[in-house]
Structure 1
Amino acid sequence: MNMKAAIAATLVLLSASVTAPLYAQETPKEALLILAKKDQTLAIVDPASLKVLKRVPVGHDPHEVIASTDGKTAYVSNYGFGQWNTLAVVDLTGQKPMPSIDLGPLRGPHGLDFVGGKTWFTAEAAKVIGRYDPATNKVDWVLGTGQNRTHMIWVAPDEERIITTNVSSATVSIIDKVIVNPPGPPPGANPGPPPTPRTDWNETVIPVGRGDEGFDVSPDGKELWVANALDGTVSIIDIDAKKVTQTLDANVTGANRLKFTPDGKLVFISSLRNPDITVIDAATRKVVKRIPVGHGAAGIIMQPDGARVFVSCSPDDYVAVIDLKSLQVTGHIDAGHEPDGLAWAVQR
């Protein structure tokens, strides 16, 4: 190789080494999503390597995140205790922000779920729950709860039942879809067309402990477990009976989130005031372990295959990775400043 060819080859190699890092790795089929509140970003993480592939801006005070069923879009609530009224949208395939959703008077969006092709959300300052339809780019349904700080939301896969925690009211709302048959015309009146049945909702308000935020429905759909931050207790609700059947003195003051493992055997509870994660045996109702994770924790997400659980350690600026067999911390993810909401996205 002559001198000119050697120099040209060297320049090509140098150019490749400089430009290669500028191209982000594509989003894997299964991705972990992590919000960093202080940075106002959503981190797209490869759960195999635990490496952040991309950080995408998501606007003011992001608290919760949910992925669409096809795993291609993420929705983020811009909360601000009622100061903000938008949902940020992220293209997970393109790893870029999309136009945000203006919720108008529905201020303080927080809890999120994605069911039936639509994004369901709470709006704390408006005391409502709502539903956004990506197909029409509109909020197509809202329902008032009549409760203070309606915070987190769960929607049944068949969309027949909605559950919320209402922090300042110390209540849980179980809201069931019903079909109402309007009464016919009075005797002697023109009968006209037959009345059309319509959909309505019945809300059952259940008192629980003070400061109830995090909750989860057991995988068999029979029980609802609620963490009460101010009382340090856990309320267990029989969903069909719609009543509290047991209150556990679990010593979880400052409780933030509560999640069942996919097999329903264990319950994990995070606390912003305590340095560990509380693990409860769902059958015996006993605390089986407290796992040290740092100086406090918020969001929790279970890996769908039941191998690991990820916990946002907000004061420590990382997400702890816990092995579900050993119940030991096996790694950390540099998630940015003040990580909180977590989600799992599976591209289909």
Structure 2
Amino acid sequence: MKIKKSFWQAAALAACSAFFAVALIAQRSSPQSPQSTTPKAALLVLSKQDHTLAIVDPATLQVVARIPVGDDPHEVVASADGHTAYVSNYGFGAFHTLAVVDLIGQKAEPQIDLGALGGPHGLAFAEGKVWFTAEAAKAIGSYDPLSGKINWIMGTGQNRTHMIYIFPGAGKIVTTNVNSATVTILEHTSGQAGGRPQGPPPAGAGVPPPGMRAPGDPPPLPPGGDWNETVIPVGRGSEGFDVTPDGKQAWVANARDGTLSVIDIASKKVTATLQANARGANRLKFTPDGTKALISAGGDLVFFDVATQKEIKRLHIGRGGGGGIQVQPDGERAYVSFAADNFVAVIDLKTLEVVGKIDAGGNPDGLAWAVQQ
């Protein structure tokens, strides 16, 4: 009798343990199950290995949720109200979608299919639109979340149009073109392209009725103006870049040359080429006060003084694969992805030292800041 009782007790204990083990595994493997409320200000981190977006509480440096985002996620941006994240599924041109994440509900929404605009990479959110590059199409475009449609496309004619910056008002756009070793500046004009040629109509052509085009006239573009495009040669491997907070300069990290190109936005010319010893550099970000530039290059994070255009410090942090850089809006901290080491380094921007590390998944890369409004 004692043997039988012990047997059934052991069997019941084993069954109970198995049940709780399965429940625990199911809970851990469900990336859409919220673990904690999304903080009002959150750091977003992409894992290229796990194909997830991690929502990180910057106060605790802990991941509060992981959401699936599709194959080969590279860049992420948050909407102005901090409620939605958009992720580019890149694949070097093999993929053509933007993943959409509800940051409040911590769940994946239906993806945006960009069709023939393959290889989306660089992202920005401005004027209520999601702006993106499309490497395989040699183009950039914008997506309107309200209408659910791509509302604008512009070709660059450059190879690997990679990163993008939108000026306030979306009247000026800057992109880097990695394999063409160029930067493109697009400027919106007030006039309408196309339309009737200047001067009197040809003899015998007559005057067309209002609203009609004369024979031989090119079809006019939709109202709203045209775009002027300036292509600026820089260094080889032009990839990561940023525009100074005052909007006067763009600094470009040239990964193959290890240099930085400084561009005057007004004249659209390179004014300086800095020997930065930053081969493999693929991201560059300014601090909010515009005094420092941060460059991720391999396992290093390099700090440049913007006024003197000189290096002020170099931190060797990881083995390599330095990627995304995100600076807090208050300028207190910076976050830098180190893909080869599977962590995001936390940098104190007063001491310029590493003060923490975040485990947000394998092969971390793109970073963004989301503030709920």
TM (normalized to structure 1)? Answer: 0.91
1:227 matched to 2:253: yes
Q: What does residue range 193-212 of structure 1 map to in structure 2 within 5 Å?
A: 193=211, 198-212=224-238
Structure 1 residues 328, 171: closer, same or farther in 2, change over 3 A? same
The answer for the alignment partner of 2:208 in structure 1 is 190
**Distance between the aligned counterparts of 1:104 and 1:146, measured in 2?**
19
Residue type of the alignment partner of 1:205:
V
Q: What does residue range 260-299 of structure 1 map to in structure 2 within 5 Å?
A: 260-272=286-298, 275-296=299-320, 297-299=322-324
Q: Percent identity?
A: 62
Shift of 1:233: 0.2
The answer for the alignment partner of 1:76 in structure 2 is 87
Contact residue 166 and residue 213 of structure 1 kept, 8 A:
yes
Residue type of the alignment partner of 2:362:
H
Structure 1 residues 123, 319: closer, same or farther in 2, change over 3 A? same
**Distance between the aligned counterparts of 2:81 and 2:239, measured in 1?**
28
Give the strand-richer structure, 1 or 2: 1
Residue type of the alignment partner of 1:309:
A
The answer for the alignment partner of 1:65 in structure 2 is 76
Shift of 1:193: 4.5
Say which of 12, 33, 36 aligns to 1:25: 36
The answer for the alignment partner of 2:109 in structure 1 is 98
Contact residue 34 and residue 65 of structure 2 kept, 8 A:
no
Q: Secondary structure at the match of 2:92?
A: helix
Residue type of the alignment partner of 2:210:
G
Say which of 288, 306, 329 aligns to 2:354: 329
TM (normalized to structure 2)? Answer: 0.85
Contact residue 179 and residue 197 of structure 1 kept, 8 A:
no
Say which of 335, 339, 349 aligns to 1:310: 335
**Distance between the aligned counterparts of 1:161 and 1:98, measured in 2?**
30
Shift of 1:180: 2.1
Moved over 6 A (4+): 18-22
Q: Secondary structure at the match of 1:69?
A: coil
**Distance between the aligned counterparts of 2:316 and 2:210, measured in 1?**
69
| Structure 1 gaps, min length 5 | 1-14
Aligned alpha-carbon RMSD (Å) = 1.9
| Structure 2 gaps, min length 5 | 1-19, 213-219
Aligned length: 330
**Distance between the aligned counterparts of 1:197 and 1:136, measured in 2?**
19
**Distance between the aligned counterparts of 2:235 and 2:316, measured in 1?**
25
Q: Secondary structure at the match of 2:323?
A: coil
